[in-house]
Chain A
Amino acid sequence: MINTHFLNIELKSPTVLASGILGLTASSMQRVIEFGCGAVTTKSFSLDWRTGHKNPSIIPFEHGMLNAVGLSNPGIDEMVKEIRLFRRQCTAPVFASIFGRTLDEFGEVTRRAAEAEPDMIEVNISCPNVHSEFGQPFGESCPDTAKITQIVKKHAGKIPVSIKLGPHGPGIGKLAKICEENGADAITAINTAGPGMLIDINVRKPVLANKTGGVSGPAILPIAVKSVYEVYRSVKIPIIGTGGITKTGDAIQMILAGAHILGVGTAVYYEGIEVFDKLNKGIENYLKEQGFDSIEEIRGAAHE
């Protein structure tokens, strides 16, 4: 496997489980690690538990997936327990994904999450499917992005922080720059795109209970590659390139655009949990065939 350094963290492979996929419990995350995943990201959690939206909340379509889970999570107490349990059972790095309803809540969740000593805190300011409740995602506003980055950095102590951005708003390159200027250690790009909608033609109603939901999977790969490309041009901090990675070629494109490590979510549906092993082997083969010794040699190569 390809050992990877990222923010002073050692990963056994460059593929990382994206937030919201199988990241609710220690048992679940440990199983993903057994399939070659380099690090796991927890489901995004908040101070209090949330039931999320009603079902259907996750539906595949021909080219991807639509989800409006609605940030359901068991709350910080349960999640801190699960992170600690994971730590005891497994040596692989774990990233705690957090969110808050208000700017202050981001600080409080970070402070509490830091107690579980995750290897990184990922800050979800870009979930597109809680609009009706939270309004415009914080991550689509430059001032809010700056403030949240500052607050989170203040409470995270020595734990590195990655801000997770979406493809929408005032420009992902600009937003990433703001995160960097305010102390972010990394950028995760991207969250789901949209939101989008699918309507059933017989009952003539939107299929998702929430009506709209974030789009993920193969459909968003070009948007994700372009977003990572823009972020790479605009900042020096490393990027967790996420969005639509299913096959080896997708992963390579992300690296060529500038990704440091790779977030993989929806592909677990298309390829099974084995997707991590498959991608790792695929990347290794590509490097060998093309005559490279490491990922570093091709990172950002599309910019040259």
Chain B
Amino acid sequence: MSDLMQTFPIRRIVEHGPGVKSFYFDKIFNVEAGQFINLWIPGLDEKPFSVSSITGDQIELSIKAYGPFSKEMMKKKAGDYLGIRGPFGKGFSFHDKALIIGGGIGIAPLRILAQKLKEQNNTFISLLGAVTRQEIIFSSWWDSLGQRHFTTDDGSLGLKGVVTDVLPEILKMNDIKYIYAAGPEIMFVKVKEMIDPTGIPYEFCMERYMKCGIGICGQCVLDGSGIRLCVEGPVLNKEALSGITELGMKHRDASGRRV
């Protein structure tokens, strides 16, 4: 682990489809499922990204083109040097008979979670949704892991619709003991409404604007609880989430304003 900024070359790149890629670096540190790193494009900016898997002796980051930073990432080539600080934060805890719910590129931290759950012989069902098929990264890999459900807004993979369309049925048909979620906060708010009444415990991997990643600047602190998402998160359990008053509401930008 190193909180200090160090630069490393990209070893290889996998393209999942237009605007979604995975980048591989030497495994410079060990990482818990759900932890993130701060990635620096020299001369541009630095942003947080989940580690999406450990594959052999490499770590993987999976990135979707969105704004200036992630679009610049799409232009990067193997051999280019990028800065990495981390890993930061606390990851997922491991439980058997789990349900993994992911939305869009939020699937990234769930991939490494699934890897680790499997390593420890925990069973799980996955329910992954996205706008379109390339955003369900590594879909055939998920196929190989057991019961899985895909949804896409355009119907290009799995069911046409969203994860919450199929969630009630999955809950009814299976003995689920733990739920993991990652993805857009609005998705999670809807998921939460459905799973709260069941009493099943859960964890959600959350996102906020981050600067330091090391619990100093206060940028990622959540209203209500004072939790620093970069240190005590990004994965929060049901109890931690219940103390947050800003879930599904406006977030702070780089200045600290709610926008």
Q: Which 7 A-B pairs have the closest CB atoms?
A: A31-B226, A55-B46, A74-B256, A58-B212, A28-B221, A22-B218, A27-B226
A74-B255, A78-B257, A266-B216 known; A56 vs B46 contact (CB < 8 Å): yes
Asked if B255 and A203 make an inter-chain contact with CB atoms under 8 angstroms apart, the answer reads: no
Q: Is A51 an interface residue (CB 8 A)?
A: yes
Tell me which residues across on chain B come within 8 A of A56, comparing CB atoms.
5, 38, 40, 46, 83, 85
A-B contact pairs, 29 of them (CB 8 A): A21-B217, A21-B218, A22-B215, A22-B216, A22-B221, A22-B228, A24-B218, A24-B219, A24-B252, A25-B256, A28-B226, A30-B226, A51-B253, A51-B254, A52-B255, A55-B45, A57-B211, A65-B216, A72-B255, A74-B256, A74-B258, A78-B257, A78-B258, A200-B83, A203-B81, A203-B83, A269-B216, A272-B215, A273-B215
Contact, CB under 8 Å: B222 / A50:
no
Chain B residues, CB < 8 A from A28: 218, 221, 226, 228
Which of A25, A50, A60, A203 contacts B221 (CB under 8 A)? A25
Nearest CB of A to B207, in Å: 15
Binding site for B on A (CB under 8 A): 20-25, 27-32, 43, 49-52, 54-62, 65, 69, 72-75, 78, 198, 200, 202-203, 205, 207, 209, 265-266, 268-269, 272-273
In addition to A21-B217, A24-B219, A61-B4, 14 A-B residue pairs with Cβ atoms within 8 Å of each other are A22-B215, A25-B218, A27-B222, A27-B226, A51-B253, A54-B45, A55-B38, A58-B212, A59-B4, A65-B216, A74-B258, A198-B5, A203-B83, A207-B40
Main secondary structure of the interface of A (DSSP, over half): loop
Inter-chain contact B218/A43, CB cutoff 8 Å: yes
Question: Would you call B215 and A24 a contact (CB within 8 A)?
Answer: no
Per-residue A-contact encoding for B37-55, CB less than 8 Å = 1, 0 else: 0101011111100000000
What is the interface of chain B mostly: helix, strand, loop, or mixed? loop
Query: What is the size, in residues, of chain B's interface with A at 8 Å between Cβ atoms?
Result: 39
Query: How many Å from the CB of A260 to the closest CB on chain B?
Result: 25
Cα–Cα, bound, A137→B210 (Å) = 27
Query: What separation, in Å, do the CA atoms of A272 and B215 have in the docked complex?
Result: 8
Tell me the nearest residue of chain B to A266, going by C-beta: B216
Q: Is residue B7 within 8 Å, beta carbon to beta carbon, of the partner chain?
A: yes
Closest-CB distance, B45 to chain A (whole angstroms):
5
Digit string of B2-43 for contact with A (CB within 8 Å is 1, else 0)? Answer: 011111000000000000000000000000000000101011
B256 touches A73 (CB 8 A): yes
Q: Is B224 an interface residue (CB 8 A)?
A: yes
Q: How far is the CB of A10 from chain B (nearest CB, A)?
A: 23
- Tell me whether B242 is interfacial, beta carbon within 8 Å: no
- Cα A198 to Cα B9 in complex, Å, equals 20
CB distance from B17 to the nearest CB of A (A): 28
Roughly how many angstroms separate A142 CA and B65 CA in the complex, as a whole number? Answer: 51
Q: A43-B256, A74-B256, A200-B5 are in contact. Are A25 and B223 (CB under 8 A)?
A: yes
Given the interface contacts A27-B226, A72-B254, A72-B255, does A58 sit within 8 Å of B211 by beta carbon?
yes
Q: Which residues of A contact B211 (CB under 8 A)?
A: 55, 57-58, 69
- The minimal Cβ–Cβ distance linking A289 to chain B, given in whole angstroms, is 31
Residue of A nearest to B226 (CB): A31
What's the minimum C-beta distance from A288 to chain B, rounded to whole angstroms?
31
Known: A21-B216, A22-B218, A73-B256. A207 touches B83 (CB 8 A): yes
Closest B residue, CB atoms, query A200: B7
